[in-house]
Amino acid sequence: MIHLPSNKTYQLGAGFRYSHYGPAYNPGAEYWAGVGKEMALRFPMAKPEAIWIVSRLEGEGTLLTFPDERKLPNISFSHDDENESALNLFDQLNFHIWLQVEPGKAQVGTLFDLILERYAHHPCVVGVGVDIEWHYSEEKAQGSPVSDDEASRWLSAARAYKQSYRLFLKHWETSMIPIQQWEGMLFMDDSQMFSSMDDMMLEFADWGQHFSPAPVAFQIGYPADKPWWGEFSDPAKTIGDALLARIPNTSGLFWVDFTALEVFPP
């Protein structure tokens, strides 16, 4: 039996996906806050929301973008905290922020403990996420499927810090996310390399239908798709409006940082 979500509905979140490696340079937290505000303003009743990547693939494991002295398998740390000042600003602006990991062979539950131990005090944080293409992956971005038990344990690990926390799982193939317990989950599609917007709509609609009535989200704006979205005067709004009209369980729209500086000039 599939346990569907209750009748609870979620406010549409619109914003961006941020990583240390995505943009050509980082204009700073105020710039990203502006992108979040601009995205949200494009859609009625939307709230500024973002995916903030705090763990990036490194070798067989992952690098957490804050310092720590602990020695843990497949986990390393940066010298400086690359997130705290931005999260402070997002707190002030009442944003919703998802903290995402690219685990490699690191244990996801351990990563959630580390990041929430450090950042759960921020009211902007609403949940955590896993990029499944880097779940037990190294050089090839494909990943390993997530089991029901893994998803349940990951959500429980997050909710040990706050019961309202949610978990997103991100991939482009539904077969990578064969879970039955959908309460507290968000299912995110980051597919790209579409021949047209119609091509994108067909694939994303299948994703939304597969997980319906659970909430789904989409990352848009990849460079590979610019040949067609680059023709739009306002590509974020054009694509977002089409997705909302086609996929009623859409609850998140995130423009990727790879092209954010171009579409939302500093």
Read out DSSP for 65-127?
SS-----BTTEEE-SS-SSHHHHHHHHHHT-EEEEEE--BTS-HHHHHHHHHHHHTT-TTEEE
Tell me what the mean pLDDT of segment 183-187 comes to: 94
Q: Which residues contact 69 (CB under 8 A, 6 or more apart)?
A: none
Element (H, E) at 265: none
- What distance in Å separates the CA atoms of residue 119 and residue 83, rounded to the nearest whole number? 9
The predicted structure's pLDDT at residue 134: 83
Tell me what the mean pLDDT of segment 16-33 comes to: 96
Position 260 pLDDT exceeds 80: yes
Torsion of CA 37, 52, 86, 65, to 10 degrees: -170
For 68-105, b/e burial (b = at least 16 CB within 10 A) is eeeeeebbebbeebbbeebbebbeeeebbbbbbbbbbb
Specify the CATH architecture of the domain 13-263: Alpha-Beta Barrel (3.20)
Least confident of 8-17, 212-221, 254-263: 8-17
Chain Cα centroid distance, residue 94:
18
The predicted structure's pLDDT at residue 4: 46
Position 248 pLDDT exceeds 60: yes
Position 7 pLDDT exceeds 80: no
Helix 108-119 and helix 148-159: axis angle, to 10°? 20
Position 1 pLDDT exceeds 50: no
Position 135 pLDDT exceeds 90: no
Element (H, E) at 55: strand 47-58
Share of the chain above pLDDT 70, in %: 95
Tell me what the mean pLDDT of segment 232-246 comes to: 98
Largest CA distance in the chain: 49
- What distance in Å separates the CA atoms of residue 182 and residue 174, rounded to the nearest whole number? 14
For the chain, the structural domain boundaries read: 13-263
79 is written with which tokens? 């010298």
Tell me what the mean pLDDT of segment 132-147 comes to: 77
Torsion of CA 135, 138, 139, 144, to 10 degrees: -30
Position 32 pLDDT exceeds 70: yes
The predicted structure's pLDDT at residue 140: 56
| Residue 50 DSSP SS3 | strand
182 — pLDDT class (breaks 50, 70, 90) = confident
Position 15 pLDDT exceeds 90: yes
The predicted structure's pLDDT at residue 136: 79
The predicted structure's pLDDT at residue 8: 60
Position 3 pLDDT exceeds 70: no
Q: What pLDDT, in 10s, does the model give residues 154-168? A: 999 999 999 999 999
